[in-house]
Chains A and B, each alone.
Chain A
């Protein structure tokens, strides 16, 4: 049939330059040749979202198919997520859904209760005491290539016209550029970048957090979220804490509990828009902080020793 077809034969989705012949030094191992060894296009990495039944009902019920939310707080990395958990989230938050990055949709958690540290899911919570506030915990590293998709996916279920957004993240103190030598910097430092919509509405007036000074750049998911908010004219603020290397949201340290001193770096942000409308608690409930710090690393703790 293919030979009779007027159309040219479709080329296979792998490189024919790969030579499957044996190498004398090769001491055996997985066969890399053949179609079975190659990634299929359907296995391409992507972001996917799964919502709880209640959230799906809420979407279906509304005209605009959006969740009821006026404030979205996003924590990027374990330190920021720990801060939001301790000061904002409370004990009775409802899980609305999760976003998973880097794996196909088939890899999504089967149950929204799988909140173990070893999983790669970013959870979306709603405060029961203040249902207009949603909190997204992006504790798992989101690959740079997936950040834009993550941001679009997250905002796709919200009404951006009536939304205020705050994203908290960390960057290494050694990446902070200033006139002072790097060795004399005393961290942690907290800086902020706001979208023009937030500045234009006067929502940033009197804020205690210093603007991020050039040539420093916001990177990763916080930058992508702020960019998307800037394009869509959403009032948004990104708070970035420059902390010691070990407290950043790099992969080897992902499974370790966040350092309380690094979490405390975000405290000035509690007095700023839009966090102050969420009625955050400071100092945070000590039991909640202890539970946070005592969470055991997941089974994937060995990834901490992959790099030296």
Chain B
């Protein structure tokens, strides 16, 4: 029996393990995530940053409706990569859960709670008849009540983990390698450092230009969380600074070689 035939018997119903322990539908869902454009999350010392590759809107399309980042509550934001429609459903359910938690417990959700909730929904869909997994991975950023920033990542299998910095979507491996090289707690201690690192990371795989990138910052001022999506002019100015810093580094390297 060929491998192709074996796979076709075990990838139709996601409740079934293959003989070698695979859940093919979950793995296929992870492939769907790679078709989405890149999203990067950074946990800074006093903020959390999300940077996403902005998809070009069609000529007649209102680009305000083409968003890769969403606010779940005043203090929690999410970026995702993968199936757009699946993201909409998960965002709605997460928003309802955030509000419900506030009204019931009289406290805002913690990042761990909402990440676990989102991951729990995803896991449920990997173990039910007649359904398919959610084809997206999410990056959740925000502040807990104690004022500490956090970054969580969930994937289609329903796994969730906390990260210092991570990327999802196309070219996530390239971006993650860049972050592993460049991330230090000192470099992201302040907001500007965290924003610049997120921009540098996304510019590894995206053409430079404010029209290609969206960047959001979650910060906490006097205990009140605040979410801001940087305007295009500020992004352009930051990209110009990054370009100048790169040229200066390249110049230093050349001088050292000589």
| Complex contacts, A174 vs chain B, CB 8 Å | 171, 174, 204-205
B1-43 at interface with A (beta carbon < 8 Å): 4, 8-10, 12-13, 15-16, 32, 35-37
Range class of the B interface residue count? 35 or more
Q: Per DSSP, are chain A's interface residues mostly helix, strand or loop, or mixed? A: loop
In the assembled complex, A35 has its CB within 8 A of some CB on chain B:
no
Instruction: Report the minimum CB–CB distance from A251 to chain B (whole Å).
Output: 7
Pick from A21-29, A48-56, A73-81, A82-90 the stretch touching chain B.
A21-29
In the assembled complex, A307 has its CB within 8 A of some CB on chain B:
yes
Pick from A10-18, A99-107, A208-216 the stretch touching chain B.
A10-18
Instruction: Report the minimum CB–CB distance from B214 to chain A (whole Å).
Output: 11
Return the contact of A145 from the options B4, B80, B129, B204 (Cβ within 8 A): B4
Question: How far is it, in angstroms, between the C-alpha of A244 and the C-alpha of B125 when the chains are bound?
Answer: 36
Known A-B contacts A23-B128, A33-B130, A174-B174; A39 and B13 likewise in contact (beta carbons under 8 Å):
no
A177-202 at interface with B (beta carbon < 8 Å): 181-184
Known A-B contacts A13-B9, A15-B16, A39-B12; A244 and B205 likewise in contact (beta carbons under 8 Å):
no
Return the contact of A17 from the options B15, B80, B82 (Cβ within 8 A): B15
Return the contact of B204 from the options A39, A183, A308 (Cβ within 8 A): A183
Return the contact of A246 from the options B56, B66, B171 (Cβ within 8 A): B56
Contact B12 A38 (CB under 8 A): yes
The chain B residue sitting closest to A21, CB to CB, is B129
Return the contact of A15 from the options B9, B203, B208 (Cβ within 8 A): B9
Range class of the A interface residue count? 35 or more
In the assembled complex, B184 has its CB within 8 A of some CB on chain A:
no
Contact B129 A20 (CB under 8 A): yes
| Complex contacts, A19 vs chain B, CB 8 Å | 15, 129
Return the contact of A183 from the options B16, B81, B129, B203 (Cβ within 8 A): B203
Contact B16 A17 (CB under 8 A): yes
Contact A308 B128 (CB under 8 A): no
Known A-B contacts A182-B205, A306-B83, A308-B37; A15 and B66 likewise in contact (beta carbons under 8 Å):
no
| Complex contacts, A184 vs chain B, CB 8 Å | 246
| Complex contacts, B174 vs chain A, CB 8 Å | 174, 182
* Chain B CB within 10 A, most for which of A31, A251, A305, A307: A307
| Complex contacts, B206 vs chain A, CB 8 Å | 245
CB 8 Å contact bits of B35-74 with A (1 = contact, 0 = none): 1110000000000000000011010000000101000000
In the assembled complex, A44 has its CB within 8 A of some CB on chain B:
yes
Contact A307 B129 (CB under 8 A): no
Contact B130 A17 (CB under 8 A): no
Question: How far is it, in angstroms, between the C-alpha of A178 and the C-alpha of B113 when the chains are bound?
Answer: 42
In the assembled complex, A32 has its CB within 8 A of some CB on chain B:
yes
In the assembled complex, B92 has its CB within 8 A of some CB on chain A:
no
Contact A308 B68 (CB under 8 A): yes
In the assembled complex, B109 has its CB within 8 A of some CB on chain A:
no
Contact A308 B82 (CB under 8 A): yes
The chain A residue sitting closest to B130, CB to CB, is A32
| Complex contacts, A304 vs chain B, CB 8 Å | 58
In the assembled complex, B161 has its CB within 8 A of some CB on chain A:
no
| Complex contacts, A14 vs chain B, CB 8 Å | 9, 12
Question: How far is it, in angstroms, between the C-alpha of A244 and the C-alpha of B80 when the chains are bound?
Answer: 22
A31-73 at interface with B (beta carbon < 8 Å): 31-33, 38-39, 44
Known A-B contacts A23-B128, A183-B204; A308 and B80 likewise in contact (beta carbons under 8 Å):
yes
Contact A244 B4 (CB under 8 A): no
Q: What is the interface of chain A, defined by CB distance below 8 A to chain B?
A: 13-15, 17-21, 23, 26, 29, 31-33, 38-39, 44, 145, 172, 174, 181-184, 244-246, 250-252, 304-308
Q: Can you pick out 23 interface pairs between chain A and chain B where the beta carbons lie within 8 Å of each other?
A: A18-B129, A19-B129, A23-B128, A23-B129, A26-B128, A32-B13, A33-B130, A39-B12, A174-B204, A181-B204, A183-B203, A183-B204, A244-B207, A245-B170, A250-B35, A306-B35, A306-B83, A307-B35, A307-B37, A307-B82, A307-B84, A308-B55, A308-B82
8 more CB-based (< 8 A) A-B contacts, given A174-B171, A308-B80? A13-B9, A14-B9, A172-B171, A181-B204, A250-B35, A307-B83, A308-B36, A308-B68
